[in-house]
Amino acid sequence: MPLYEYECQSCEHVFEELVRGDEKIACPKCHSGKLEKLFSVPARPQTAASDLPVACNSTGPPCGSMCSRFKNN
């Protein structure tokens, strides 16, 4: 079920709508069916300023290939 962005050609209201199959979409503001589907670009994921720590102090199995126990070998 894709989420699309539309602009109403009657009142110029811009909105997003979850579309299921052949469902008819109408402007939530003026209820017009004269809509233009806009080109939506997904948001870029935000990244932290620093990397997450990967060291583990566990005496159990290694936590992964980047485990701190592998760095000293």
Q: Is the pLDDT of residue 57 over 80?
A: no
pLDDT tens-digit series, residues 33-54: 999 999 876 666 666 555 555 4
Distance between CA 17 and CA 28 in Å, rounded? Answer: 10
Other beta carbons within 10 angstroms of residue 32's beta carbon come to: 13
What single-letter DSSP state applies at residue 3?
Answer: E
| Reported confidence tier of residue 25, pLDDT bands at 50, 70, 90 | very high
Distance between CA 41 and CA 5 in Å, rounded? Answer: 10
Domains of the chain, each with CATH number or no CATH = 1-41 (2.20.28)
The residue-averaged pLDDT of 12-31 equals: 92
